Amino acid sequence: MTDASIPKASTLLRPDARTKKRNASEARFRFYGMVAIGIGLTMLLVLMFTILTKGVGAFQQTFITLQVELLENKLDKTGARDLELIKKVSTFGYAPLIAGGFNKVVADTGIQTTLKPKDQSGILSKSAPAQLRDYVLNDPDQIGKTIEFEFLANSRVDGYLKGRVTRESIANDKNISVEQLDFVDQLKQAGVLKKRFNMDFILGADASDQRPEAAGMGVAMAGSFFMMLVVLALALPIGVAASIYLEEFAAKNWITDIIEVNISNLAAVPSIVFGILGLAVFINYMHLPQSAPLVGGLVLTLMTLPTIIISTRASLKAVPPSIRDAALGLGASKMQSVFHHVLPLAAPGILTGTIIGLAQALGETAPLLLIGMIGFIASNAPGGISEGLLSPNSAMPAQIYEWAKRADPAFYERAWGGIIILLVFLVTMNTIAVILRRRFERRW
Amino acid sequence: MSFVKLTASTLAIAAVSATAAIARDQVQVAGSSTVLPYASIVAEAFGENFDFPTPVVESGGSSAGLKRFCEGVGETTIDIANASRKIKDKEIKACAEAGVTDIIEVKIGYDGIVFASDINGNSFAFTPNDWFLALSDQILVDGKLVANPNKTWADVNPSFPAQPIQAFIPGTKHGTREVFEDKVILAGCEETGAFDVIKASNGDDKKAAEKACISLRTDGVSVDIDGDYTETLARIESNKDGIGVFGLAFYENNTDKLQVATMSGILPSTESIATGEYPVSRPLYFYIKKAHIGVIPGLKEYAEFFVSDEIAGPDGPLAQYGLVSDPELAKTQTLVADEAVLGSNM
């Protein structure tokens, strides 16, 4: 009651109404900020969770171990071990050997089954005969012996072990029957059929629509690698040379202004535009081969150049003029001052920009659609540098896109698995960029 | 700097040799995404069984594939175009202008087109009439053409449940769309009598009447899907009332999510399509440049392997995946063996 008439003096202990209002608005702003970060983090967590739960399965695959007798009367009737004659037996001729392998398993383990031999082999991947044939052609002397092989199970069986396929879900499926799943259960109990880590998913080649279990990312990875090689070898020198000239040597006039604006604009051009350009210039006009990583690399170089130029110019600008002045004052030429002093100091920034540009290019799909890197392409592992650059290949993101389109749901799982591999690469590259910046960047 | 120099010079050498050593050693194929799975199965088996490298099969659609096919002759052009329809006269002409004159047409088999809906939804037994009445722009009511008033399937056919009509059909860039229009909508148009009424009102213009028949309603009941069947499937999963148009092979790989409808009382299967009982199917083709045979190693071997009995026959891997084997496969085999070009004996 006593001080009711006196207006409240604002003190540090007793804030007045206006201060309270200002404090409240700050508190509100902080809360908004935390909500924004919270939403972002939740999204990231949901995304990571989805990717991991859907994709981890692709790294595991179901294998069946069989003792296969490489019958001489099927593979080499003459007994001459003539490779040309053995080659005449196509993969279709190897199917009876696998049926024999199943017969042996059933006899050895005492499994009771009413399945016909053909249906028993039906739980195997279609890649099994090819695997056998490759083995025999590599080493014809093994014909006549009984060898232990580990074959992939087909995608339905694999899905059954992973819980994607159930007895109910296959009611209308003509590719697998309930009896075959019973057989799978028995084989699993006998320890013949196992789920284990599958290195071929990371290192192998793409496979056709009929055998998703055999498809791998390896060849597409090599394709991406060769494209990045092209991007690095072209974009880095061109980008750095262009920005050194623009930043250190070129006169500041309207021409360089126009160039500068255009470089910034180029950085914002959608990547599909570069794809169309690549198709028109590199393939239709210059007649470079279709689907070749060289062309992909050239297109991605165009896309990455602006990123590299912008980051290089920023890091050149960050080198204080006193360094240049000191070098010039001691009698260095302009060129010496740039290459001996400015460039080494700007190098960490340039490298960071380059790595981030490469990471961007690595994840790019749109331009590759147009230069023919989508389809059943990544089937032959390249044998050398020139083959790697010139023979048709796919790239990691293009391969993921291709898998996501295919009919068998097993490919969908592989698409998610492919995303995990791609993310590992991207995260690694970005981490290297951060480490480089942390360790070598100098502040003045 | 030496690393940069080294890579730059390697690259320069590679670029120079690119034009010189381009001598392609594998077959290049492009075209229809419907044929892609079959072509990739054959390419894979071909690579396994022959000394030639695995052929490269690109997708992109029949028209895009044939366009590239007609770009000219030479190692930088593709050897084979896959198509889910016959090559058009216009395309043959474009080919000839670019110097691609001798084209071998190979029919590999038939592809069934099925109507499927969510596995837990209502089952349907369609006839072409039902689809015409559900999707056409104008239908016949009491002898007069009116804008399609049907809202639910029960409106179309009293024996159907009162489920809202929602169809996901292939977009116009797909070869499948043409088959859907010809064999389902147009057939229904003719059978319900709408065709004759439209034709009479047009002054007997058959072409215009056909065109009017296949113009579909645009009030959102039928949705064009320009992407792949995986997109159609995703739409049905999010809208349980939806009914989609799929390839038989796609349905057979997703029987846990989809149930297939019968058409005119026939359940689609490779058998019922082969006998011609199931009406909605179309032939699939690939086209070979004769000029490339003997230049590109393995080209003829690939084509012969593709149509061989062990691959394209009724028990081969293609039939297992969903291709309907051609009863006249033997004829195709001799055609490929003789390298008979288009227009030579037809």
Q: Mean pLDDT over residues B157-183, rounded?
A: 88
Q: Is the pLDDT of residue B194 over 90?
A: no
Q: Mean pLDDT over residues A232-238, rounded?
A: 95
Q: Is the pLDDT of residue B10 over 70?
A: no
Nearest to B58 among A126, A291, A292 (CB): A291
Q: Does A350 touch chain B (CB under 8 A)?
A: no
pLDDT band at A4 (very low <50, low <70, confident <90, very high): low
Instruction: Show which of residues 167-196 on chain B sit within 8 Å of chain A, judged by CB atoms.
Output: none
Q: How many CB atoms lie within 10 A of CB A262?
A: 11
| Residue A61 zone, left/alpha/beta (φ > 0; ψ -120 to 50; rest) | beta
pLDDT band at B7 (very low <50, low <70, confident <90, very high): low
Distances (CA, A) of A212 to A55, A164, A201, B41, B54: 14, 14, 10, 11, 17
Report the distance separating Cα A407 and Cα B98, nearest Å. 36
Give just the sign of the alpha carbon dihedral B144, B148, B150, B155.
Answer: positive
The CATH number corresponding to A218-440 among 3.90.550.10, 2.60.40.60, 1.10.3720.10, 3.30.465.10 equals 1.10.3720.10
Q: Kindly determine whether residue A374 and residue B26, on different chains, have CB atoms separated by under 8 Å.
A: no
Q: Is the pLDDT of residue B4 over 90?
A: no
Local structure of residue A299 (DSSP, 8 states): H
Q: Is the pLDDT of residue A379 over 70?
A: yes
Domains and CATH numbers, chain B: 24-111+283-338 (3.40.190.10), 112-281 (3.40.190.10)
Q: Is the pLDDT of residue A370 over 50?
A: yes
Residue listed under structure tokens 């008439």? A5
How much is the pLDDT for A417? 95
Q: Mean pLDDT over residues B83-100, rounded?
A: 90
ipTM of the complex: 0.84
Q: Is the pLDDT of residue A85 over 90?
A: no
Nearest CA among B89, B42, B99 for reference residue B69: B99
DSSP bridge partners of B117 = B243, B259
The tokens of A70 are what? 């490489």
Q: Is the pLDDT of residue A213 over 90?
A: yes
Q: Does B41 touch chain A (CB under 8 A)?
A: yes
Q: Is the pLDDT of residue B3 over 70?
A: no
Q: Kindly determine whether residue A210 and residue B7, on different chains, have CB atoms separated by under 8 Å.
A: no
Length of chain A: 444
> For residues A296 and A227, is the Cβ–Cβ distance under 8 A?
yes
Instruction: Show which of residues 22-81 on chain A sit within 8 Å of chain B, judged by CB atoms.
Output: none
Residue listed under structure tokens 């003096």? A9
How much is the pLDDT for A5? 53
Beta strands (DSSP E) in B205-321 are 222-225, 243-247, 258-260, 262-263, 281-289
Q: Is the pLDDT of residue B21 over 50?
A: no
> For residues A418 and A218, is the Cβ–Cβ distance under 8 A?
no
How much is the pLDDT for A291? 87
Exposed, middle or buried: residue B277 (CB in 10 Å: 0-12, 13-18, 19+)? middle
> For residues A411 and A55, is the Cβ–Cβ distance under 8 A?
no
Q: Mean pLDDT over residues B57-71, rounded?
A: 87
Interface test with A, best of B1, B10, B11, B301 (most A CBs within 10 A): B11
pLDDT per position as a tens digit, B103-118 = 999 999 999 999 999 9
Q: What percent of chain A has pLDDT over 90?
A: 55
> For residues B32 and B86, is the Cβ–Cβ distance under 8 A?
no
pLDDT band at A7 (very low <50, low <70, confident <90, very high): low
Give just the sign of the alpha carbon dihedral B253, B257, B262, B266.
Answer: positive
The tokens of A38 are what? 């919270």
Q: Where are the domains of chain A?
A: 56-197, 218-440
Q: Mean pLDDT over residues B87-112, rounded?
A: 91
> For residues A233 and A220, is the Cβ–Cβ distance under 8 A?
no
Report the distance separating Cα B19 and Cα A171, nearest Å. 55
Nearest to B17 among A287, A374, A386 (CB): A386
Q: Is the pLDDT of residue B15 over 60?
A: no
Report the distance separating Cα B10 and Cα A83, nearest Å. 38
How much is the pLDDT for A73? 84
- Average pLDDT over all residues of chain A: 89
How much is the pLDDT for A10? 62
How much is the pLDDT for B19? 46
DSSP bridge partners of B107 = B285
